[in-house]
A and B are shown apart, each in its own frame.
Chain A
């Protein structure tokens, strides 16, 4: 024991750090802030350390070359002992990190922790969020599979919408004219050197400020933040009713961080690593690119935005959102901290959460995408063919072969871009079916040029059979009148 102490003293004599550590560890925090609600920041840091560690491990094998990256990931997945597990931990760690950072941010916002004097801590946090998302995106690119390739294509297409500078930004992002070797190399540099370096710097500052300014006290309704008095009030509170950070508060941080790490490992072990999907060869056009989980909401928004507003929203919205997040502590740097007295804040968070959740959920089955092999791979339900005439069956064939199924489902399979057609005959009359097929409209292409009259007849005959057994098909009330007046031309078609 005394030998150990001697060694300790030897180091301490030179480093002179023990005092600082002791002071930091035992600094008083308000009693109520030693709460389970205050564990997310430390959890984010823990995952970041895990990511750095697993990232270095993966870099031992990974080849950052467009020609070899995909192969080296196959090697990691299949040949390197537990290589797949490290990939899994790194991939799931990324998902957990984004999630924890978002939760941390929401908690800080709801607890008013961004208010005076912690404005800069918040602003650094906003940049930390951006960098975390940047790491997630660049990481997806390093997977360099078909999803990464076409995901980059989407990023490039968005850049290409910037007025005047578009072409330059495209070439800058890609490092050349196309998505190729130079592109992967620069995303490797971003993912491995640039962003992690910035992250380490920003995280250090962020942490330093938490220590200097003290952890946010538990918000009490009615306890108002004023620039003139806050600092004094906080120190009084921390000393009067405070507990030392170690051990009173830190054990919760440690428990939660451990739980997160175990969860990451469990996910990696159970669900395995992400991809890589298909080999990055752009001539393989039978691919259906999809972004990673935390970018699914963007995928959904890009499909659902009204086309004429798309460019404006794509280019302006991020600036507005970022500007708002940065200006937030200046817009409401004082006043009430408690969420109980800040209904708009609560509603905003809920609204954003519900919107992101909905977009993400939608994007998991992407109803706006045609099912590219629905026409050849989704059988016509047998009950729609049994007892039908040859013409109607031929119509079902036209329905499949002309790729109607890619956008319209029948019997719950097929595309969801257009309406399901299982009961179409109860809503549209024969005439309306013919018109819709030939002229399209309402976001459906016109098929007039690609169907001959026989095909239209067969197709519409088939569509007319699609109604529930008990329900009569839609009927054109005017038809009887019109056909009665056979000799005179119809005055109105409806």
Chain B
């Protein structure tokens, strides 16, 4: 290659440059390939929370405790450990909810999150209202919207009674687009 100037005419030197060019291009392609190969698992890693949710792996039946913890005609605060949780979650995997027992095995289980923007609603038995401390959403005892900005009634969990225990299907924070899975069975939502 070093002798090129002596007898090589122009086409030759062109060929040499194009060869280096080729190597550079191959080098770039190899790097591009490596990036694609690396990116695929990285994207999969990043999107894992979505994919898991779409496979419906977040929802499980969890127990809220014995039936007799919930007196008829009253609404009580209950809590459960989220079915998907980690050791380092602290207490954030303890999820509260409001349980209203109408009669016998007739229940309504309301999510704690206001349908407006997710703040924790509080039940006031005296006036039979749920009130939200953030933007002033208010709901009646059956969860239907009474006043304020919420676009619908309180979110409700599906429930069933098994071995004298109240079970609900839970697992993800309810929002306007993650509710459907929370209402597959009971469907008694007033919102």
Contacts and interface: CB of A to CB of B under 8 A. Distances in A.
Interface of A: 65-68, 70, 149-150, 153-154, 156-163, 166-168, 170-172, 174-182, 279-283, 285-289, 299, 302-303, 305, 307, 310-311, 368-370, 372, 375, 401-404, 406-407, 417, 440, 443-447, 449-450
Given A285-B120, A370-B131, A370-B133, A157 B175 contact: yes
B149 A283 contact: no
Nearest to B171: A177
B117 A158 contact: yes
Given A172-B47, A403-B127, A283 B150 contact: no
A283 B92 CA distance: 9
A182 to B, nearest CB: 7
A289 B149 contact: no
Contacts of B53: 167-168, 171, 177
Interface string B64-94: 0000000000000101001011111111111
Contacts of A150: 118-120, 134
Nearest to B85: A180
B140 interface: yes
Give the top 3 A-B pairs by smallest Cβ distance, nearest first.
Answer: A160-B175, A166-B177, A67-B90
Contact of A174 (B49, B132, B171): B49
Nearest to A303: B135
B176 A157 contact: yes
Given A150-B120, A403-B129, A177 B54 contact: no
Given A154-B119, A167-B177, A181-B92, A445 B134 contact: no
A446 B140 CA distance: 9
B95 interface: yes
24 contacts: A157-B175, A163-B177, A168-B50, A170-B173, A172-B47, A174-B49, A175-B49, A177-B58, A177-B172, A180-B89, A181-B86, A181-B88, A282-B94, A283-B77, A283-B96, A285-B77, A285-B96, A285-B112, A287-B120, A303-B149, A311-B151, A368-B148, A369-B133, A450-B126
Given A282-B92, A310-B149, A445-B147, 16 more contacts: A67-B88, A163-B177, A170-B172, A170-B178, A172-B46, A172-B47, A177-B58, A177-B172, A180-B85, A279-B91, A282-B95, A283-B79, A289-B120, A289-B133, A369-B134, A403-B131
B151 A307 contact: yes
A65 B88 contact: yes
Given A370-B136, A372-B133, A178 B127 contact: no
Secondary structure type dominating chain B contacts: loop
A158 B93 CA distance: 21
Interface string B14-58: 000000000000000000000000000000001101101110001
Given A168-B50, A283-B79, A311-B151, A303 B92 contact: no
Nearest to B176: A160
B91 A406 contact: no
Contacts of B93: 178, 180
Contacts of B47: 172
Contacts of A305: 149
B79 to A, nearest CB: 5
B117 A153 contact: yes
A197 B74 CA distance: 53
Contacts of B146: 440, 445-446
B128 interface: yes
Given A66-B92, A168-B54, A282-B112, A177 B126 contact: no
B100 interface: no
A156 B175 contact: yes
A368 B96 contact: no
Contact of B173 (A158, A178, A310): A178
A457 B177 CA distance: 44
A443 B135 CA distance: 13
Contact of A182 (B86, B133, B171): B86
A171 B135 contact: no
Among B47, B118, B121, find the residue whose CB has the most chain A CB atoms closer than 10 A: B118
A287 B146 CA distance: 21
A288 B132 CA distance: 9
B126 A171 contact: no
Nearest to A400: B126
B45 to A, nearest CB: 11
Interface in B161-191: 171-173, 175-178
